[in-house]
Structure 1
Amino acid sequence: MRRRTLQTLLATSGAAAMLALTPLTAQAAPYSGGNYGAYGFEGQYPTVSGCSGSFRQIGATRTFEGMRLKYFYSDRCGSFARIENSRTNCAALLERSNSGAGRADGWVSETVDPGINYAYTKIGNNLHGRVSRALLVCDGHALTHTNWY
């Protein structure tokens, strides 16, 4: 398999393709790419002090084969993705666009931990004109996603 740069993968097939190339380990693990981490609160979980309890679900819960995808937003901290009732080899993925145009330039994902059936991502900062969306990715394929918010 020929290695491709992150920019090429994001430009041609999105963050889900990059996640397909990322090995899924036995323990849940966050992965990120693009310019993720460039804005405040990115790299922290939604339980961080000052953000905990400030998130609310935006948009409808998306489902695929009984698995649920939810998108949460806080006007103080940003957003995160959560998947529930998930099988193994799946991940919650949050894409963020810093231009507001709905083209991902940063992303973060979290795989499902053994013995549980849910996962949630670290925060993506979609404040001040930036937007983000949540995806349910299994075996490297995006199965469903939310709108950009």
Structure 2
Amino acid sequence: MSDQSKSIHQFKVKLLNGIDKKLSDYKNKVLLLVNIASGCGFAPQLKELQALRDELGTDQFEVLAFPSNDFGRQEPLEGTAISTFCEVNHGVKFPVFEKIMVRGEHANPLYRFLNQSSTPRWNFHKYLVNKDGEVVDYFLPFTKPLSSKVKKKINRLMNT
């Protein structure tokens, strides 16, 4: 059993529809947490994130997206507009949460926790979390979700 203080499973966050979601609901799944922004040049990665999820399935893996306006004011959208952008333009079916701050003193508690391993310097910073909810790695924004580096690390975690 993992130490809850070292796990993201201690947090609760709001989905875009305003419903609270306990991250402990994702126990025993490998997770890729990504701060996203609709106006970012990396936004096409949303399609790749969905393709990765489709390829790996959702039994042992999930992508969690957190819209943020922290970098270059690249997330001007709110609520359902974010959802529509993700679904219509990129086919996103993975969970997208409410827009949050991911850095600084007003960062969401989940991101204050994640930032202990690496602070995002831009949109589409990706945290890799093991089945126990522990952050085990991160990928910079220019690392594509379908890269062999990302897929190998996720597969390794899924098989442990």
Q: Same fold (TM over 0.5)?
A: no
Q: Which has the higher strand share?
A: 1
- If asked which structure has higher relative contact order (CA below 8 Å, sep 6+), I would say 2
Q: Which has the higher helix share?
A: 2
